Amino acid sequence: MNAKGRVFKYGDNVDTDVIIPARYLNTASHAELAAHCMEDIDKDFVKKAQPGDIIVATKNFGCGSSREHAPIAIKASGISCVIASTFARIFYRNAINIGMPILECPEAAEDIQGGDEVSVDFDTGVITNLTTGKTYQAQPFPPFIQNIIAKGGLLNSIAK
Amino acid sequence: MGMTMTQKILAAHAGLDHVEAGQLIDAKLDMVLGNDITSPVAINEFEKCGATSVFDNTRIALVLDHFAPNKDIKAAEQCRQTRNFAGKYDIKNFFDVGRMGIEHALLPEQGIVVPGDCIIGADSHTCTYGAVGAFSTGVGSTDMAAGMISGKAWFKVPSAIQVKLTGKLPKWVSGKDVILHLIGMIGVDGALYKSLEFTGDGVKNLSMDDRLCIANMAIEAGAKNGIFPVDEVTMEYGKGRFQREAVVYEADPDAVYESVVEIDLSTLRPTVAFPHLPENTKTIDEAGKVKIDQSVIGSCTNGRMEDMRTAAEILKGRKVAAGVRCIIIPGTQQIYLQCVREGLAEIFIEAGAIFSTPTCGPCLGGHMGVLGKGEKAVSTTNRNFVGRMGHVESEVYLASPAVAAASAVTGYITDPASL
């Protein structure tokens, strides 16, 4: 499985309140959530995001609330992958559970700039910055989590 | 190698004699929680995968608290969906308007969570129940759905930071100041993926309300859970309250901690977290003169009886400053009633504050106190992220009930001792 796209770059501690503000949590509609994704820190995100694009951020991405609406909004915006130095733990779980690939790679997260073209090989964990030619090695998912993703999310993996 | 308190609870719920940090386990759950925002997403997932039953209708708690009483039509539909689900599967711990409280004030109060439990909740502040000596952690809606179906969840066993508490809190300093001080020390990702295990002689000097407040904000340091040992204070609190038998786990004497943080409670000062991160802490002495438009006293962090009493002690015979909206929200119906019986409701209203039915409302900018452009609030809630309480250009200053009440009186962030 691979992803390839243009990068939206953010800094430390991007919290779930800016990923999807609570004022929009009166709906579970994926399309409605996507329409407001990141709007409190990046008004242009919704206008510019193209299917396949990638979010890169530094430490503690997705901190704050447990709202699954946050990874849902990102995924429904067409984002194919989030790369960060570290993720907040509930966001990490939620992303895997809904089948949105995320990778921890501090070097890539620091280096890669907004607008760069990046490709990701999820099987090997190799991240390639096509703009600069540089490659980075992230840890691929452990088998336990690969199983959840391969089955299309947590609920499919526990379904009898 | 010894286990931490958290590791012992997880091992027991995974049916293992021993677990180590980093190990992946499948654990049995004693309680699965959701609210009116997270449950609809979980219910959609539950139905989408074809589930037709829950693992145990006594081990699921559904609380309509965030946008309830319904703030708008969409919120009403989310509550309706959750209410219908609760009816269909005969969920015993379903709490609707009139019985509901803010989930993390309500579940301990009702004895629904007990020492030794392993709990997940689709709400990040589910870590609150560590105060009663349970392993309890926030998850998303898909985990909640899976938990409701299977009664199990997978976990990566966390390592731990030991927080050694000594001494006794001074007047006007409370659990809120302890946790803000700790987050200021270690940062909003200081305990990422880890447990915060509170230990030491100082624990016995902390009331259950203080412990609930401290454990509540463990997530604000990135922690998977925060946990307190079970002692006489816990068991006294549980008398006639705990609905199931308490199981007491203690950390092994040779438990391995990744690091140790020491806090002498007697040295703490009222503490304020400035915008826009809970780690941006200053003592009240360093806060400067910050003018406020609103003071919020309540939430899952500080909507308990002691918090109400502290606010009343300060507001009694005083008036909320002109130009300040003071919003006081008790955590549960029982606390609400107690406030009425003790005369606190009268004190609040005479001071010029409003005193409302329980709701999470303003904490997350939902309703009952949303901020406008450029407005500033001092708030006893738990997050001060950009836009958290309303307009993207508004600001939230996190503080204790004592500081929030004193600030309501003066109109700027104030040391309660200075009144």
CATH number at residue B197: 3.30.499.10
In chain A, which residues have their Cβ closer than 8 Å to the Cβ of B386?
15, 17-18, 40-41
Min CA distance, B25 vs chain A (Å)? 10
pLDDT for A159: 66
- pLDDT (tens digit, 9 = 90+) per residue, B290-322? 999 999 999 999 999 999 999 999 999 999 999
The contacts of residue B190 (CB under 8 Å, 6+ apart) are: B161, B183, B221, B222, B279
Q: What is the ipTM of this complex?
A: 0.94
Q: Are B326 and B256 in a shared domain?
A: no
Rounded CA separation A123/B320 (Å): 60
Whose CA is closest to B153, among B178, B183, B122? B122
Peptide linkage before B13 cis (omega within 30 of 0): no
Last residue of a domain, one of B263, B288, B307: B263
pLDDT at A124 over 80: yes
Preferred mutation among B33, B141, B157, B277 to probe A, highest tally of A CBs within 10 A: B141
Q: How confident is the model at residue A144 (pLDDT cuts 50, 70, 90)?
A: confident
* B344 and B302 co-located in one domain: yes
Instruction: Check CB contact under 8 Å for B150 and A158.
Output: yes
Residues of B with Cβ-Cβ distance to A142 under 8 angstroms:
24
Tell me how far apart the alpha carbons of residues B397 and A89 are, in angstroms, rounded to a whole number.
25
Best residue in B388, B389, B393 for a mutation probing chain A (most A CBs within 10 Å):
B388
**Which residue in B124, B136, B299, B370 has the most chain A C-beta atoms within 10 A of its own C-beta, making it the best mutation to test that interface?**
B124
A86 CB neighbours in chain B (<8 A) are: 189, 192
Of B248, B263, B278, the one marking the end of a domain is: B263
Instruction: Please state whether beta strands A81-84 and A102-104 pair in parallel, antiparallel, or not at all (unpaired).
Output: parallel
For residues A156 and B328, which has the higher predicted lDDT (pLDDT)? B328
Same domain, B107 and B155: yes
Q: What is the pLDDT of residues B4-14, one digit of tens each?
A: 999 999 999 99
The tally of CA atoms less than 13 A away on the side-chain side of residue B144 is 32
Same domain, yes or no: B84 and B203: yes
Count of alpha carbons within 13 angstroms of residue A92, beta-carbon side:
20
Amino acid at B244: R
Q: How many domains in chain B?
A: 2
**Axis crossing angle, helix B208-216 with helix B175-186, rounded to the nearest 10:** 30
Residues in chain A within 8 Å Cβ distance of B141: 68, 94
- Tell whether B88 and B236 lie within a shared domain: yes
- Residue B309's nearest CA partner among B272, B346, B339, B351 is B339
Q: Do B275 and B298 reside in the same domain of the chain?
A: yes
DSSP string, B274-326: PTT-TT-EEEGGGS---B-SEEEE-HHHH-SHHHHHHHHHHHTT--PPTT-EE
Contact yes or no for A67 and B154 at CB 8 A:
no
* Whether B320 and B198 share a structural domain: no
Digit-coded pLDDT (tens) for B74-131: 999 999 999 999 999 999 999 999 999 999 999 999 999 999 999 999 999 999 999 9
| Cα–Cα distance, B296 to B212 (Å, whole number) | 19
CB contact under 8 A, A63 and B123: no
Give the residue among B341, B337, B342 at the shortest CA–CA distance from B358.
B337
Cβ of B124 within 8 Å of Cβ of A93? The answer is no
Domain boundary among B246, B263, B280: B263
- Residue A70's closest chain B neighbor by CA? B140
% of chain A residues with pLDDT over 90 = 81
Say whether A97 and B124 touch across the interface (CB within 8 A): no
Residue B361 contacts A, CB cutoff 8 Å: no
How far apart CA A147 and CA B303 sit, in angstroms, is: 42
Looking at the fold, whether B361 and B225 belong to one and the same domain comes out as no
Same domain flag for B159 and B81? yes
CB contact under 8 A, A60 and B386: no
Nearest to A64 among B40, B124, B370 (CB): B124
Domain that residue B345 falls in: 270-418
Contact A67 B38 (CB under 8 A): yes
Q: What are phi and psi of B302, to 5 degrees?
A: -140, 45
B166 lies in the same domain as B299: no
How far the first Cα of chain A sits from its last, in Å, is 25
Residues of A with CB under 8 A from a CB of B: 13, 15, 17-18, 21-23, 25-28, 40-41, 59-60, 63-69, 71-72, 86, 88-90, 93-94, 97-98, 142, 144, 153-156, 158-159
Chain segment B218-269, per-residue pLDDT in tens? 999 999 999 999 999 999 999 999 999 999 999 999 999 999 999 999 999 9
Based on the domain organization, do B235 and B358 belong to the same domain?
A: no
With b for 16 or more beta-carbon neighbours within 10 A and e for fewer, the B164-187 pattern comes to bbeeebeebbbbbbbbbbbbbebb
User: Do B205 and B338 fall into the same domain?
Assistant: no
CB pairs < 8 Å spanning A and B: 132
CA distance B24 to B351: 53
Query: d(Cα B205, Cα B266) in Å, to the nearest integer?
Result: 11
